[in-house]
A and B are shown apart, each in its own frame.
Chain A
Amino acid sequence: METILLKNIENPNSADIDEYIKAGGYRSLQKAIEMQPKAIIDEVKKSGLRGRGGAGFPTGMKWTFASSDPKTPRYLLCNADEGEPGTFKDRPILEKNPHLLIEGMAIAGYAIGAEYGYIYLRGEYPGAKDILDTAIRQAYDRGLLGDNILGRAVRFHLSVHQGAGAYICGEETALIESLEGERGQPRIKPPFPVNVGAWSKPTVINNVETLSNIPYIIETGAEAYSKIGSRDCPGPKLYCVSGHVERPGVYELPMGINLRDIIYTHAGGIRGGEKLKAVIPGGVSTPILPPDKIDCPMDFVNMPKHGSMLGSGAVMVFDDTVCLVKVCYRALRFFDHESCGKCTPCREGTGWLSNILGRIEHGKGRDGDIELLLDVAGNMLGKTFCPLGDGAASVVQNFIRHFRPEFEGHIRDAGCRLQN
């Protein structure tokens, strides 16, 4: 497959504007500003593009909602707060193909009528900050950003807003709070950001990978684009594979590729010929799958039918040397650390889940602890302010659903057999 998102990244100077233009870059922006904004949105709608941040919301629809809200100004935000454990798919775009994102944002800004855009970049990517700042400066110098883009009366200003280590800011309303200079705690929805977003104005928030699809859609047209990937979820997708595979890394593949193929064909199978024990298919928040459940098309529509979710496309592979109680405990320590504290079920629930898992992992588990975990998780699910708490609860439920004997063994044997 031709690469669209990771095009040219083997070129050591791929982040430079001249290299990007030489490879055909910014032609889509030129084409887009000769189109009517509505025609661009229609093209994106027709392409079938869905948001790559994890929720899979149709991008064109989001753009329509914001652009049809009469309030102005409107804002365009790029969610580059890639923090879901296991996820490192946006990093190659940010570090090696920043102009693809900038071009996508300039087109999106023009389409929805936003004159200001911000890239909310996680604090853990200091290298990407410098690269993006340089790329943005280059784009201004060439008249591709600013007050008169390509000599036309089109205005779009772009800057980077650096986060400071808060996973919750990947949630779009928490991201807005953080952009506004507040503690990153989520807002109640509705109203949705498309109507009442940054500074209470209509705001589109799209993931890095989503926006990076836009130049290709404009250049080749929705019809050609929608032939890539699966029917309900077209386009290319970045899958980032980590854990016990021969070749971990970021793979650009057609959306809907089988999870087994990602692991065994593209990532080279299980390291050292070990036995597969489990896969988390879409970042730590998505339901874990046992080896007999990995024949599933990796897209937003099909994964829920197979008991999990596409999430961020972060495939985490575990061989049978891994203690899943320990993995579950580490995941819950993460959620406990990252819970923003706004709502009680999440703030208290993540703490208790982590504590109970900790005592099981450390050989101090008690009879009834598994039921207690499920009880706490059940009291969180659907009752938290934002999906962080749901994610934490569902991790515990799904680890126990598929690997209950391992938890029982830890309690019975007062510790882990795998770690002596």
Chain B
Amino acid sequence: MLSEKAIKQVDEIIARYPAKRSAVMPALYIAQMEFGWLTPEAIEAVSEATGVPKATVKGVATFYAMYKHKPIGRHLIQLCTNVSCMIFGAERLVDIIKNKYGLEAGGTTADGRFSLVIMECIGACGTAPAMLVDTDFHENLTEENIVKILENYK
């Protein structure tokens, strides 16, 4: 079940569209916030709140790269390695994160602090390489500054 506040939020979102089903994606984001990731209970809660069958909700959730299907760390590092970031050494940044935190792409640190996801272009090509940490953009990354930036996330 979603919290009362979340259900109210979903109802407000439903009112924006001519069909309830359009609220599935926004409701998945809300459920992800509430449950931490899209647990079977979260999928069920979205299904209840939107009236869309569970299997359909799951089908939608698994199509999109930014929904989480397993627990993630307290902070989510989304590092771009697409062309404009790659030519400025984004792959070396992946290695630095791995060496410093023992963190592989798609994984989470043992202490639950960080998860790492490799992204496909986050629209920061003019200030490459770049990453999102949670909802913060960090651009013009270097081998020197990336760890300093990440150390601000406890």
Contacts and interface: CB of A to CB of B under 8 A. Distances in A.
Interface of A: 73, 82-88, 90-91, 116, 118, 122-127, 157, 159, 161-167, 178-184, 199, 240-244, 248-250, 280, 284, 314, 316, 318, 322, 326-327, 330-331, 334, 337-338, 340
B22 A164 contact: no
B83 A327 contact: yes
Interface of B: 16, 18-19, 21-26, 28-29, 50, 52, 59-60, 63-67, 78, 81-84, 86-87, 119-128, 132, 135, 137
Q: 3 smallest A-B Cβ distances: which pairs?
A: A165-B65, A164-B64, A242-B125
B132 A85 contact: no
Question: In this complex, which of A82, A85, A178 has the most chain B Cβ atoms within 10 angstroms of its Cβ?
Answer: A85
Contacts of A180: 19, 21-22
B120 A181 contact: no
Given A83-B121, A163-B64, A178-B25, A316 B84 contact: yes
Question: SS class of chain B's interface: helix, strand, loop or mixed?
Answer: mixed
A124 B119 contact: yes
Question: SS class of chain A's interface: helix, strand, loop or mixed?
Answer: mixed
A392 B119 CA distance: 18
Contact of A123 (B64, B86, B124, B137): B64
A179 B121 contact: no
A73 B123 CA distance: 34
Nearest to B52: A181
A286 B118 CA distance: 23
A86 B25 contact: no
Nearest to B126: A248
B65 A334 contact: no
A236 B120 CA distance: 28
Contacts of A90: 123
Given A85-B82, A124-B132, A340-B63, 11 more contacts: A86-B125, A122-B123, A124-B78, A124-B121, A181-B22, A181-B23, A181-B25, A248-B125, A284-B82, A330-B82, A334-B120
Contacts of B26: 161-162
A136 to B, nearest CB: 11
A159 B16 contact: yes
25 contacts: A87-B121, A90-B123, A91-B123, A122-B123, A124-B78, A124-B122, A124-B123, A124-B132, A127-B135, A161-B22, A161-B26, A164-B29, A164-B66, A165-B65, A181-B25, A181-B60, A183-B59, A184-B64, A243-B87, A250-B126, A327-B83, A334-B82, A334-B83, A334-B120, A334-B121
